[in-house]
Amino acid sequence: MTRHQALFLPALLAGLMVAGAAAGGGEEKKTDTKDAVKELQSEMAKLRQRLDLLDKLNEVELKIVNERLDRIEKALTKLAKDGTRISLSVPPPMLAAGTIRLDNRLAVQARVTIEGVAYTVPAASVRTLKDQPAGAFTYRVTAEGYGIGPNKKTVLNANETWTLTIY
């Protein structure tokens, strides 16, 4: 029951009293009105008791929630003071890598395709590809006027530089 409902009952009671007095009708009406008033007063007393119980229940629930919140805050403060950090992830292993050096000695631009990725190398220049995964790989060289070369396989060792000279 809300407080608005609790306030509505006295207003209803007053309305009934006024209506009963205005209607007149003798002693029987007065007795009916008195009985109705007593019944409403009894109902109001019960509602007040119920409202008091609900208020006490809300206070208890609020106290419980506040106590839980205090425990959580203390636990978080303790964790922050400890400086302990828990990581549930595993860092990826460092992959072995090497460097591929593309040395174009032609007078035209060359194109080297390594494992499906094309790299252009300007005429008479060098292009360095760092941090390439170590291990076996396939490559192909093409250049204007020289045609398309065959696919070739080789191995890049970890922490080493493999040079492809284009001539």
Domain spans in the chain, listed from the N-terminal domain onward: 3-82, 97-166
SS3 breakdown of the chain: % helix, strand, coil, rounded to 5? 45, 30, 25
Condensed to tens digits (0 to 9), the pLDDT of residues 5-51 reads 555 656 666 665 655 555 555 566 678 888 999 999 999 999 999 99
Q: 110: pLDDT confidence band, cut at 50, 70 and 90? A: very high
Q: Give the CATH class of 97-166.
A: mainly beta
pTM of the model: 0.46
Give the CA radius of gyration of the chain.
46
- Confidence at residue 81, expressed as pLDDT on a 0 to 100 scale: 78
For residue 33, count CB atoms less than 10 angstroms from its CB and return exposed for 0-12, middle for 13-18, buried for 19 or more: middle
Q: 166: pLDDT confidence band, cut at 50, 70 and 90? A: very high
